[in-house]
Amino acid sequence: MSSLSFESVKAAAYGRWREILAGLGIEAQYLTNKHSPCPGCGGSDRFRFDDKDGNGGFVCGRGGDPLAGDGFELLRHVHEWDKGEALRQVAAYLGLGDRQPMSDADRVELKRQQAARQAKEEAERQARQEEAAQRALAVLEAAQGDPAGHPYAVKKGVSLGALVKRGAWPQRGWDDALLVPIYGADGKLWTLEAISPDGDKDFLIDGRKRGGFYPLGKIRGADRVLIGEGLATVAAVHAVMGWPAVAAMDAGNLLNVVRAVRELAPDAELYLLADNDIKADGSNPGLLAASKAAHDLGGRVAVPVMDGKACDFWGLWHEHGAGAVRLAVESAQTPTKTAVTAVTKTESVTIPAEDRPCYRVFNTAVKVLESVGPLRADVWFFNVKIGKGDEPPALTQQWVCSPSPKGCNT
């Protein structure tokens, strides 16, 4: 074995890491290039095996202490081997050197040890979350200020709900913070978000945010629920529509919060309030997160539109008023799988008001920047709808037909 170099074993392992890792005690369910619990340290979706460049690459969030590496590093992380042992085990599996490959009994023992480590880490994580929940409660109980007079609340100009408090935030040394309680579907306060007078935001260390939300109105048993990212965004739409609403705090938590709301209100019609995060490269993380959640768990996606600029619903409410918000929500669409995929894979086009009314034929799915989301490859009619009273005009689109050699039959 001493004559084998790391480079020679790595070269022999190239392109075979799924087979090697499964043979060395890492179950195939973790080797799918999808987010999942980590085979080494547990969690819920902190791990992804992508086999980058055929070298067994992976990424693990590790509870806020990220780790990434190749197949050797993954074996070290999962089995707590040192670098030399990982090298020897891979070489033995590949039949290199004189060491015997791992036996079935060895693999069983490795899995037992792995399960024990995961259970220990999970118990420790839950204990930290319980302790954080107690700290959150103490911070809230000490808060005696008037939330409505806080500079952030004044700037936003919309009621943030009765559960928001104002007080000190010891974690950052802030004397004056808005304190946003974040609850689970079980009704328990699990963590806090603090907002400084300048709008800086901070979450309680070790607090359980996954699946947690800030509620506006009664969610359990509701017929309709608004679900969005930020507090002010959701509060603005709640003020206009009057429907129960929850703030998921960020796009990464949106899918988990939709699951929680489905648990509390299984028959509710869900409206996902997308942040319209238009990027220069054509990507739109906010729209993608909302579309995926609505598609996977059932719901409609409402998107704020402001002249092709990135915006959220608070911005739409602030700039164009309640009428524009109501129109966007009432125009919410149910996304198809094609539409969800299109958010990341389609090119962007613009059809400004001065070019309307007009017809357009798209041979592939496109993102129309003035639209509410990606449009499939079909014939579309674009127009301008005159607003009622003080409501601003709205840019609209209507599906006409699918293109064919014989034309449209409408």
* pLDDT tens profile 104-160: 888 788 888 878 887 888 888 899 999 999 999 999 999 999 999 999 999 999 999
* pLDDT tens profile 335-348: 876 556 555 555 56
Report how far apart, in Å, the C-alpha atoms of 333 and of each of 106, 321, 329, 342 are: 54, 21, 9, 15
The pLDDT score that the predictor gives to residue 30 is 92
Other C-beta atoms closer than 10 Å to the C-beta of 381 total 15
Q: Which domains does the chain have, with CATH numbers?
A: 6-102 (3.90.580)
Mean per-residue pLDDT, 184-207: 95
The pLDDT score that the predictor gives to residue 43 is 78
Pairwise CA distance, residues 200 & 233, whole Å:
16
361 or 208: whose pLDDT is higher?
208
Beta-sheet pairing, 245-247 with 224-228 = parallel
Contact (CB, 8 A) for 212 and 246: no
Beta-sheet pairing, 189-195 with 174-183 = antiparallel
The pLDDT score that the predictor gives to residue 1 is 42
Nearest to 235 by CA among 249, 224, 245: 245
Pairwise CA distance, residues 24 & 200, whole Å:
46
The pLDDT score that the predictor gives to residue 376 is 61
Pairwise CA distance, residues 220 & 266, whole Å:
9
Pairwise CA distance, residues 177 & 162, whole Å:
15
Indicate the pLDDT class of residue 406, thresholds 50, 70 and 90: very low
Q: What is the rounded end-to-end Cα distance, in angstroms, of the chain? A: 75
Contact (CB, 8 A) for 146 and 154: no
Pairwise CA distance, residues 391 & 68, whole Å:
51
Question: Is 189 a residue whose pLDDT tops 50?
Answer: yes
The pLDDT score that the predictor gives to residue 369 is 59
Pairwise CA distance, residues 91 & 270, whole Å:
53
Specify the length of the chain in residues: 410
Q: Rounded to 5 degrees, what are φ and ψ at 99?
A: -85, 140
Pairwise CA distance, residues 121 & 77, whole Å:
13
> Which tokens sit at 81?
């081997």
3-state secondary structure of 203: strand
* pLDDT tens profile 51-71: 988 899 999 987 667 888 999
Pairwise CA distance, residues 169 & 189, whole Å:
17
Beta-sheet pairing, 379-385 with 358-361 = antiparallel
pTM above 0.85, yes or no: no
Mean per-residue pLDDT, 222-231: 96
